[in-house]
Chains A and B, each alone.
Chain A
Amino acid sequence: MVNTKVNLSGIILDNPVIPASGTFGFGYEFAELYDINCLGTFSFKGTTKDPRFGNPCPRIAECDSGMINAVGLQNPGVEKVIENELPKLKACFNKPVMANVSGFSVEDYAYTVEKLDSQEQIGWFEVNVSCPNVHGGGMSFGTSPEAAAEVTAACRKVTDKPLYIKLSPNVTNIVDIAKACEAAGADGISMINTMLGMRIDLKTKKPVIANKMGGFSGPAIKPVALRMVYQVYEAVKVPIIGMGGISTAEDVIEMMLAGATAVQVGAANLVDPFASKTIIENLPKVMEKYNIDDLSQIIGGAH
């Protein structure tokens, strides 16, 4: 029997597989398809202080081995998330969930984290300083070490729960930003968010996406994600949640070898609603194939 359990900041996950924020809603859509308690956990839809509709459509463009999205943090706002979404989630998921939080000011982030902190279902915070699809916030906090540290410190003050900062790959040096978050009190680093990209329609000769640009995700970005996780693993002591193009159990192992303690699955969930479940089911046999008895022993194994 192989051991797929990992310890993510003091909470044991049955396996390291975590559907990524924005690809799994608040879980209950997927719970209609399968028992989502098979997941390590999942990161729920990015939540902000106020309700947001997000960007105009089209918000989606297909790419070779990936997709671009410019949803723009559509969510009902933290009050409605607590009132409506979390009770529905509780009915179908009995494990601690990861709360993904975004904001447009340092105060916004802290406000939303503080509101959610009292919810016992929440095991971890994943603070998104890397959304490429909103103006005047999101990614702008994740592109400078100082701003990322400021958000981290403000959130740190209002929660004792494990605090992960989700970083953008759209930076010159992601290592400096990860180190700044660690120094400001982050319990871990979550990486990478989508890469800024675009598509142009040859018929209209205009960008496909109404927002012109959006976040590129999917298997095409996996090598970039692996490289960045590998680099950050060498620079910080806190655990890393790795993501970027993860679609198979092999990908999970590769990301863990780069340095990830847990691994998120994003775009794959949108193509195959059973993707995360299938990855979890395949993990033991892929571990056996590569002579891995205990998944937690391979974290950072490539170094």
Chain B
Amino acid sequence: MTQGFYKILSNIQLTRTVYKMVLGGDTGAITASGQFVNIKLDGKFLRRPISICDYDETTITLVYKVVGVGTEQMSKMTEGQELDVLVGLGNGYSLDKCGDKPLLIGGGVGVPPLYNLCKKLINEGKKVTVVLGFNTKEEIFLEDDFKKLGAEVLVATADGSYGVKGFVTDAMKDVDYTYFFTCGPMPMFKAIEAVASTSGQYSFEERMGCGFGACMGCSCKTKYGNKRICKDGPVLEREEIIW
């Protein structure tokens, strides 16, 4: 983890509530897909943890949903402003055990951290299938980005306005996969847990205090002992999770 000041290179709206912010600065502390940053905002006491959608040597891309006063403030920030950011937090996804045909399952605002993961898996020569779940057509984002990486993309919408009608579990029915990676809301996790046929990794969300393991504000129990979502997670292996 490092602390630094990052310049906003762009901040654009993708859907009614989802924005994409690109930050410029040192990314050396990022070691894995699925890690997050923790952003200090003027007038807000606690930082805002946001998953990293993508990164390269000098930029970090965040795709975030406006869910409260902090993210709303972020959505109004403009190019050139600077942010105090803790970078490289959390464990991120581990690519070691995923076999040749990994399946990536994202629900709503859980989709972004899968993007860099998808990029890495494709660079490793894997045949990647991405299943994205949204409530309705207007809320879909990053679909084309995943396609451009070379992944096979299946979209499910709860109201059937686009792609498969239903949930991610409906869209993944006929997918042949060797392992899965997922990020999204808890009801989606439980549905996946009920049908998944392989091992996999889940990325969890929790209200955090510090985001770097000091306060024990986001602890959970696992089969491997107590873990802090911010430091020992947010990614947990399927085998260790207590549902």
In the complex, chain A residues whose CB is within 8 Å of the CB of B3: 272-274
1/0 contact string of A24-66 vs chain B (CB within 8 Å)? 1100011011000000000001000000011001111111111
Interface set, chain A 254-290, CB cutoff 8 A to B: 267, 269-274
Which listed residue (A32, A65, A66, A71) contacts B216, Cβ 8 A? Answer: A71
B209 contacts partner chain A, Cβ-Cβ < 8 Å: yes
A123 contacts partner chain B, Cβ-Cβ < 8 Å: no
Give CA–CA (A284, B77) in the complex, Å.
Answer: 36
**Chain B's interface: helix, strand, loop or mixed, by majority?**
loop
Which listed residue (B46, B86, B209, B216) contacts A54, Cβ 8 A? Answer: B216
Known contacts: A65-B45, A271-B40. The answer to whether A60 contacts B217 by CB under 8 A is yes
Interface residues on chain A, size class: 20 to 34
In the complex, chain A residues whose CB is within 8 Å of the CB of B212: 29, 273
Which listed residue (B46, B213, B216, B231) contacts A271, Cβ 8 A? Answer: B46
In the complex, chain B residues whose CB is within 8 Å of the CB of A71: 215-217, 219
Residue in B40, B44, B212 with the greatest tally of chain A CB atoms within 10 Å: B212
Q: Is the CB of B215 within 8 A of A271?
A: no
1/0 contact string of B99-142 vs chain A (CB within 8 Å)? 00000000000000000000000000000000000000000000
Which listed residue (B206, B213, B221) contacts A58, Cβ 8 A? Answer: B206
Q: Is the CB of B210 within 8 A of A61?
A: no
Give CA–CA (A208, B40) in the complex, Å.
Answer: 21
In the complex, chain A residues whose CB is within 8 Å of the CB of B213: 25, 29
1/0 contact string of B46-87 vs chain A (CB within 8 Å)? 110000000000000000000000000000000000000010
In the complex, chain B residues whose CB is within 8 Å of the CB of A53: 219, 221, 226
Name the distance in Å between B106's Cβ and chain A's nearest Cβ: 22
Q: Is the CB of B209 within 8 A of A60?
A: yes
Give CA–CA (A188, B208) in the complex, Å.
Answer: 33
In the complex, chain B residues whose CB is within 8 Å of the CB of A59: 207, 209, 216-219
**Chain A's interface: helix, strand, loop or mixed, by majority?**
loop
In the complex, chain B residues whose CB is within 8 Å of the CB of A269: 210, 214
Which listed residue (A57, A74, A271, A272) contacts B207, Cβ 8 A? Answer: A57
In the complex, chain A residues whose CB is within 8 Å of the CB of B45: 62-67, 218, 267, 271
Name the distance in Å between B74's Cβ and chain A's nearest Cβ: 15
Residue in B40, B44, B216 with the greatest tally of chain A CB atoms within 10 Å: B216
B1 contacts partner chain A, Cβ-Cβ < 8 Å: yes
In the complex, chain B residues whose CB is within 8 Å of the CB of A62: 44-46
Give CA–CA (A59, B216) in the complex, Å.
Answer: 9
Which listed residue (A25, A30, A32, A60) contacts B46, Cβ 8 A? Answer: A60
Name the distance in Å between A25's Cβ and chain B's nearest Cβ: 5
Q: Is the CB of B214 within 8 A of A58?
A: no
A22 contacts partner chain B, Cβ-Cβ < 8 Å: yes
B220 contacts partner chain A, Cβ-Cβ < 8 Å: yes
A69 contacts partner chain B, Cβ-Cβ < 8 Å: yes
Q: Is the CB of A54 within 8 A of B219?
A: yes
Name the distance in Å between A73's Cβ and chain B's nearest Cβ: 9
In the complex, chain B residues whose CB is within 8 Å of the CB of A61: 207
In the complex, chain B residues whose CB is within 8 Å of the CB of A231: none
Q: Is the CB of B86 within 8 A of A273?
A: yes
Q: A59-B218, A60-B215, A269-B214 are in contact. List 9 more A-B contacts (CB 8 A).
A: A22-B216, A24-B214, A29-B213, A53-B221, A60-B209, A61-B207, A63-B45, A67-B46, A271-B210
User: What residues of chain A have their CB less than 8 Å away from a CB belonging to chain B?
Assistant: 22-25, 29-30, 32-33, 45, 53-54, 57-67, 69, 71, 74, 208, 218, 267, 269-274
User: What residues of chain B have their CB less than 8 Å away from a CB belonging to chain A?
Assistant: 1, 3, 40, 44-47, 86, 206-210, 212-221, 226, 231
Top 10 closest pairs, chain A to chain B, by CB: A270-B210, A60-B217, A58-B207, A60-B209, A74-B216, A62-B46, A71-B216, A60-B207, A59-B217, A270-B209
